[in-house]
Amino acid sequence: MEKPDRGSLMELDYAFEMATSNIRFGPGVTRETGADLSEWGARRVMVVTDPYVASLAPVATVLESLNDHHVAFSLFDRVRVEPSDGSFREAIGYARQGDFDAFVAVGGGSAIDTAKAANLYSTYPPADFLDYVNPPIGKGLPVPGPLKPLIAVPTTAGTGSETTGVAIFDYSPLHAKTGIAHRRLKPTLGILDPENTRTMPPEVAASTGLDVLSHAVESYTAIPFQCRPRPAKPVLRPAYQGSNPISDVWSLEALRLVAGYLPRAVEDPSDDEARSKMLLASSYAGVGFGNAGVHLPHGMSYPVSGMVRDFKPHGYPVDHPLVPHGISVILNAPSVFRFTASACPERHLTAAGVLGADIRGVKPEDAGRVLSDRITSFMERLRVPNGLSALGYSREDIPALVEGTLPQHRVTKLSPRPAEKDDLAILFEQALVAW
């Protein structure tokens, strides 16, 4: 891909930085959580989870381990699935009052992201809540210094949040998602325990697994790191840097695992091998996109989630309207990759081939169609909602969806092909029906 012409006065970056959490994988490793915190000298730990996961075995195992190693803790079980600024503030308030010196998050990306925010805002309280939030909604101030230890124990195989320095939430005043992004937000340790995904309903496995798929394709097709503006100093180099030789390795391996194991993990929850491989795929994709970034499917997904009216998905124990993150992302993906393929057709074809498409003899101009068709085949097999219209959206909603996408500069600017307002409107229209 050629470097874009961004003006002679703008220097382009010459470096990328690989950063990720420590990862421990193995059946039963959740039982080691207390030992780690004890060795780190933790006196009082905030355990962060949601009301549903709080009643399941993974949380019980963590609490038992903390007790066994004489680590004091307090359980915060009020995480909102698809967190909001309000639910973040509630967790932050709890953290500030508790005098905690470490955190443990148990659950999906919602719990892990909430713990990241609670850690940051209680350790370095800002003058205003939006100070750390990504621009243009917030100021995007960098994290001032090291945070307290955070152990992330995922119970879903999708977000990869145990590896990333990103915390996403719904910003209620704008009815759109935004987030906080900095390398120092990354958990200290991610505990990947295949036993913890046994409680995941098939619908959750499908949504989170398709999120893995889109993470990997988006990070692999993002603009190259050397096409991004050079920061004034290293600390300002963004967590999402653009595709690079190291993130490419992780993204492609995540796609290979998705192709081989996602349908199995959804269709047979007792398939231990498939669940284990998808847990690894989630972290692999997290390492990839946590350093390269994602682009249009995620940028477009944020207003889809934020503007939900009355859609409630099967398999999710929630009492409020909700579009699961993986669904809001994947429904936009086919139209996006048909649009972006002209910028780097060889990468789109490589991704399609790794996902199982026959790319022999495919012309570059057909790369987007082949990749999109392959992704759609996964969506159809896993029985996700058939397009944005199945979530309650119509053509009348497209202007608002576009307006909700425009502020997502952190991700949309990583698209290999720039998308203007009119382009986004067309992409949303094409996403109304998937097949």
The pLDDT confidence band at residue 189, using thresholds 50, 70 and 90, is very high
pLDDT at 7 over 50: no
Average pLDDT, the chain: 95
Looking at the chain, the whole-number percentage of residues with pLDDT higher than 90 is 89
Torsion of CA 282, 286, 288, 291, to 10 degrees: 180
Mean pLDDT calculated for residue range 155-171? 93
Q: Tokens in use for 250? A: 């992780």
Q: Tokens in use for 137? A: 């909604």
Asked if 96 and 144 touch (Cβ cutoff 8 Å), the reply is no
Asked if 213 and 258 touch (Cβ cutoff 8 Å), the reply is yes
Asked if 401 and 296 touch (Cβ cutoff 8 Å), the reply is no
Asked if 98 and 72 touch (Cβ cutoff 8 Å), the reply is no
What domains can you pick out in the chain, each with its CATH number?
28-192 (3.40.50.1970), 202-430 (1.20.1090.10)
Looking at the chain, the whole-number percentage of residues with pLDDT higher than 70 is 98
Q: Which helix (H) or strand (E) holds 221?
A: helix 202-221
Q: Which helix (H) or strand (E) holds 46?
A: strand 44-48
CA distance 59 to 61: 5
Report the range of poorest mean pLDDT among 62-66, 155-159, 255-259, 371-375: 155-159
Asked if 46 and 104 touch (Cβ cutoff 8 Å), the reply is yes
CA distance 386 to 175: 23
Per-residue model confidence (pLDDT) at position 317: 80
Per-residue model confidence (pLDDT) at position 9: 60
Give this prediction's pTM: 0.92
The pLDDT confidence band at residue 1, using thresholds 50, 70 and 90, is low
The closest of 327, 316, 303, 297 to 387, measured between CA atoms, is 327
pLDDT at 292 over 70: yes
Phi then psi dihedrals of residue 292, to 5 deg: -90, -40
The closest of 66, 251, 64 to 151, measured between CA atoms, is 66
Mean pLDDT calculated for residue range 339-352? 98
> Which residue has 């999402």 as its token pair?
240
Per-residue model confidence (pLDDT) at position 367: 98
pLDDT at 109 over 90: yes
Per-residue model confidence (pLDDT) at position 8: 46
Pairing of strands 150-154, 102-107: parallel
Q: Which residues contact 93 (CB under 8 A, 6 or more apart)?
A: none
CA distance 426 to 398: 9
The closest of 275, 252, 250 to 262, measured between CA atoms, is 275
Per-residue model confidence (pLDDT) at position 319: 82
pLDDT 10s digits, 212-243: 999 999 999 999 999 999 999 988 888 899 99
CA distance 341 to 359: 14
The closest of 300, 51, 81, 283 to 169, measured between CA atoms, is 81
Question: Nearest-5° angle of CA 5, CA 11, CA 13?
Answer: 100
Read off the DSSP letter of residue 243.
B
